[in-house]
Amino acid sequence: MTGEKKRVEVCYSPSQWHLYKNNYEIAVVIDVLRATSAICTAVENGVTIVPVSSVEEAKDYQNKGYIAAAERDGQIVEGFDMGNSPVSYKDPELKGKTVVLTTTNGTTAINIAREKETVVIGSLNNLDSLCKWLKEQDKNILLLGSGWKDKFNLEDTICAGAIADELIESQKFFAEEDSTIAAKFIYRSAKENIFSFLKASSHRKRLRNLNLNEDVKYCLTPNNLTVVPILKGDEIVAVNLEVEKA
């Protein structure tokens, strides 16, 4: 540890990445509904995830014999057996396997962030263990919300605000951007009941219309997982919390 405070900031969507990206060693990619919640669930269950941006790339992997999962606009893409419902990644049959995954926003955000030295995956599900690990790193951190098709969304902002709040409160981090201050206050307003706070939000409505309310409840449950998933080459695997530093 240098003893010097490090910086933590929030970027609301991949479309703003170029405005925020400089001077951070760690990027945390967040897509609460549902990509990064699904990835955290998968990795905790011993599944390796290969995130790809397009359906075509996922198809190429599938043709080579990989298990491939694809979601667009909340639905499983035709020709794929899986999408990004977190619960589907709890299947004991998947343990020890690799799944190639593409989603509308989350996997693209991961691939945008991969220019950083370290990319880790955040969700409400792994909030506490992720914050604990981030506090141990002594690095500058950018929290990237995946948003919806390049727009701001509330759920990723709440999660980013929760992480920023915890890191700043530890006195090891500071923030200067208004995006971070706003995310922190949105989180503080939402934290007692995130599910009801998001009632009118666009993505909750979209998923409700697809009968995916149970997935939403799962994704909005803080700390039901302890994994910290990290991008290593093309694969997302679990950080070994006992020994690993970024």
Q: Name the site residues for ligand 3SL (rule: CB under 6 A).
A: 31, 33-35, 71, 74, 84, 103-106, 146, 207
**How many other CB atoms sit within 10 Å of the CB of residue 135?**
15
User: How far apart are CB 186 and ligand 3SL at their closest, in Å?
Assistant: 19
83 contacts 193 by C-beta, under 8 angstroms:
no
Give 139 or 206: the residue with its C-beta nearer to ligand 3SL: 206
Q: Which helix (H) or strand (E) holds 12?
A: none
Give the CB-nearest residue to ligand 3SL: 103
176 contact partners, CB below 8 Å, separation of at least 6: 7, 9
Inter-CA distances, 205 with 86, 88, 93, 147, 200, Å: 18, 21, 32, 15, 7
Give 13 or 84: the residue with its C-beta nearer to ligand 3SL: 84
Give 57 or 71: the residue with its C-beta nearer to ligand 3SL: 71
Q: Which helix (H) or strand (E) holds 171?
A: none
User: How far apart are CB 192 and ligand 3SL at their closest, in Å?
Assistant: 24
**Distance between CA atoms of 104 and 147, rounded to whole angstroms?**
10
User: How far apart are CB 96 and ligand 3SL at their closest, in Å?
Assistant: 24
User: How far apart are CB 137 and ligand 3SL at their closest, in Å?
Assistant: 26
Give 8 or 113: the residue with its C-beta nearer to ligand 3SL: 113
Give 35 or 130: the residue with its C-beta nearer to ligand 3SL: 35
Give 110 or 130: the residue with its C-beta nearer to ligand 3SL: 110
User: How far apart are CB 195 and ligand 3SL at their closest, in Å?
Assistant: 15
Residue in the structure block whose two tokens are 């609301």? 12
**Distance between CA atoms of 126 and 135, rounded to whole angstroms?**
14
User: How far apart are CB 104 and ligand 3SL at their closest, in Å?
Assistant: 4
SS (H, E, C) 84-137: CCHHHHHCHHHCCCEEEEECCCHHHHHHHHCCCCEEEEECCCCHHHHHHHHHHH
